[in-house]
């Protein structure tokens, strides 16, 4: 994934800074600004630890200069398409974009805060993305739109930073075995044993147990068994 974020005529320094921060948060670094507002203290404050991205941002004066070297151009919009704006019709969701994004350099274009990407620019893109949102107020803040699109693109890559190893089938089988054993020791009636055993299994199933959590319950049950 080789992504360049391109902001067209951004007018709020704070947004540019926030975009730089979000880029760093999701592991992107190539930022192009087409005729941006002045960048100063506010942009740096919003960028926080994303100032490295901000400092390396390329300032250019035309869209062709901003997408030079890109094989694929993605437009973004918050508005619905009609007859006059066929490109806005049937846009992809950010999730769908993540599914088809090529390895070659791709430019993600985001328009100005007040008016977004104009129709003539949308028509020049290869595909348009729209974030699913409330039809009563679908227009997101610029930096938040960038943030969501980058989040979707980076999600699969960084999921391992959150998820821990799931319980293996073998450990799960052991957990079930101990559960059945302990339930049999505590309840006498087979129908009660069955009900409690299956409730516990349902809870294990719903709680997406990690390996460590599974091991903890097993050791807890073994301790109980020894005391019984």
Transcribe 102-115 into DSSP letters.
-SSEEEEEE-BTTT
Bridge partners of 105, per DSSP, are 2
Q: Pick from 1, 60, 121, 139 the residue near a second copy by CB under 8 A.
A: 139
Residues 6+ apart with CB under 8 A from 181: 221, 225
Rounded Cα–Cα distance for residues 225 and 8 (Å) = 66
Asked if 49 and 24 touch (Cβ cutoff 8 Å), the reply is yes
Q: Is 158 in the site for a second copy (CB under 8 A)?
A: yes
Tokens of 129: 């993305």
Residue 171 interacts with a second copy (CB under 8 A): yes or no: no
Residue 181 or 201: the one with the smaller Cβ distance to a second copy is 201
Question: Of residues 5, 6, 13, 21, which one binds a second copy by CB under 8 A?
Answer: 21
Under DSSP, the state recorded for 34 is E
Query: Is residue 48 close enough to count as binding a second copy by CB under 8 A?
Result: yes
Which of 55, 132, 168, 198 binds a second copy (CB under 8 A)? It is 132
Question: Does residue 11 belong to the site contacting a second copy (CB under 8 A)?
Answer: no
Nearer to a second copy, 100 or 228 (CB): 100
Q: Is the dihedral of CA 110, 114, 120, 123 positive or negative?
A: positive
**Should residue 25 be labelled a site residue for a second copy when binding is judged by CB under 8 A?**
yes
Tokens of 57: 């941002």
Closer by beta carbon to a second copy, 1 or else 60: 1
Q: Give the count of residues interacting with a second copy (CB under 8 A).
A: 53
Please check whether residue 138 is in contact with residue 103, taking contact to mean a CB–CB distance below 8 angstroms.
no
Is 215 a residue that touches a second copy (CB under 8 A)?
no
Interface residue with a second copy among 82, 103, 162, 189 (CB under 8 A) is 162
Q: Which region among 59-67, 173-181, 182-190, 203-211 touches a second copy (by CB under 8 A)?
A: 203-211
And the tokens for 22?
Answer: 């979000």
Q: Kindly tell me the burial class for residue 32, based on how many C-beta atoms sit within 10 Å of its own C-beta (0-12, 13-18, 19 or more).
A: buried
Residues 69-98 that bind a second copy (CB under 8 A): 80, 89-93, 95-96
**Binding footprint of a second copy on the chain (CB under 8 A):** 14, 18, 21-22, 24-27, 46, 48-50, 80, 89-93, 95-96, 100, 130-141, 143-144, 147-148, 151, 154-155, 157-164, 206, 208, 210, 212-213
């Amino acid at each position: 994934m080789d992504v360049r974020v391109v902001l067209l005529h951004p007018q709020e320094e704070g947004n540019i800074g926030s975009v730089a921060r979000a880029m760093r948060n999701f592991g992107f670094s190539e930022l192009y600004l087409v005729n941006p507002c002045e960048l100063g203290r506010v942009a740096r404050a919003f960028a926080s630890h994303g100032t490295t991205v901000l400092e390396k941002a390329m300032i250019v004066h035309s869209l062709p200069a901003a997408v030079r070297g890109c094989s694929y151009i993605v437009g973004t919009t918050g508005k619905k398409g009609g007859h006059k704006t066929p490109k806005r019709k049937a846009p992809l969701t950010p999730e769908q974009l993540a599914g088809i994004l090529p390895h070659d350099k791709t430019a993600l274009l985001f328009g100005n805060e007040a008016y977004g990407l104009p129709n003539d620019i949308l028509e020049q893109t290869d595909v348009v993305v729209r974030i699913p949102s409330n039809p009563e107020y679908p227009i997101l803040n610029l930096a938040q739109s960038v943030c969501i699109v980058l989040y979707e693109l980076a999600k699969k890559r960084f999921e391992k930073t959150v998820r821990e190893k799931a319980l293996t089938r073998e450990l799960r089988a052991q957990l079930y075995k101990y559960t059945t054993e302990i339930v049999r020791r505590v309840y006498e009636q087979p129908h009660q044993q069955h009900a409690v055993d299956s409730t516990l299994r349902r809870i294990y199933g719903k709680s997406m147990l990690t390996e460590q959590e599974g091991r903890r319950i097993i050791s807890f049950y073994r301790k109980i068994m020894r005391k019984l």
